[in-house]
Structure 1
Amino acid sequence: MASLRLDDQLCFGLYSASRAVTSLYRVVLEDLDLTYPQYLVMLALWEQDHRLVKELGTALNLDSGTLSPLLKRLQTAGLVARNRQADDERSVRVSLTDAGKALHEKARGIPDVIGAAMSMDEAGLARMRAELDRLTESVNRYRDACSPA
């Protein structure tokens, strides 16, 4: 029979690791004046600029109710611009401003800091990422199979 001890639960290990990593990001991101969720948005835009809000939501696994306030704060900070599409007023395209593009250079060292804190080289981080992706996909498939249609 599986143990119900807290320390034996995978969920608690994942939760604890997530909190520790997010806390580290909070410290590292202070110099950029970004929160962790804002950093994730910026990462997505540095990867591919001029994205629709819907595309960002899909990439980040965030709904528009969570994403919209993040984008508003990033716009207020002068890092992104939001523009409604002329052909579809409901669609909003998000683009980096010059300040948002410049911030990319300041953020370049963050992955190295995180890797060092995790005591992992690039290969170890890649293996961890692949395993986390596999775990996420597996759990999502299982959840979807168990959910009523």
Structure 2
Amino acid sequence: MDHYSKESFMLTQSVGFTLNTARNVITAEMDAALRDLDISSQHMVILLSLTHGVATTPFELSKLLDIDTGLMTRMLDKLEAKSLLGRSRSVDDRRVVNLALTSKGEEVAARIQEIAPQVLNARLKKFTKVEFDELCHLLRKFVGD
């Protein structure tokens, strides 16, 4: 079923525009909430991915965040300069760089896990449980999961 046509399509009314606006709102609110930790929402994803073992190499993180390896390297450089993570070469394959949180990185990640739910809950406060579940379901359907 087609939901848009040449005649009915309006950029500011499109799903893509609305999703991008929603992403921008959440990113701005999360970045503001994380300011005291001196990290961004993109840094947050890296730190939490390492905490939970979702991704442990720059390549895996690049795929997860859908960003190029050059940008990933610059973000990892910043986190390493802040003493939040360390890099080490794999003993099995010297081409692979493994990432690990430092103790300071683990502390920051623990704080993130207190802050992030507050930011998201504030944005979702007008949603009922059923609406929230449906939103999550529809977004997963939209991205193909």
Normalised by the size of structure 2, how large is the TM-score? 0.80
Quick one: which of 22, 25, 31 aligns to 2:30?
25
The equivalent residue for 1:58 is: 63
1:87 is paired with a residue of what secondary structure? Answer: coil
When residues 116 and 122 of structure 1 are mapped into structure 2, their CA distance, relative to the original with a 3 A threshold, is farther
Q: What amino acid sits opposite 2:8 in the alignment? A: S
When residues 125 and 32 of structure 1 are mapped into structure 2, their CA distance, relative to the original with a 3 A threshold, is farther
Q: Does 1:78 align with 2:83?
A: yes
Q: What amino acid sits opposite 2:137 in the alignment? A: A
Give the drift of 1:127: 3.9
**Structure 2 residue runs without a partner (length 5+):** none
Normalised by the size of structure 1, how large is the TM-score? 0.79
**Structure 1 residue runs without a partner (length 5+):** 139-149
Structure 2 contact 43–79 (Cα < 8 Å) conserved: yes
C-alpha deviations, 1:45-102, integer Å up to 9, x for none? 1111881222222333333222111111100100000112233222100000000111
Relative contact order, higher structure (CA 8 A, sep 6+)? 2
When residues 116 and 123 of structure 1 are mapped into structure 2, their CA distance, relative to the original with a 3 A threshold, is farther
Equivalent pairs counted in the alignment come to 138
Identity of aligned residues (%): 24
Q: Does 1:118 align with 2:124?
A: yes
Q: Does 1:137 align with 2:144?
A: yes
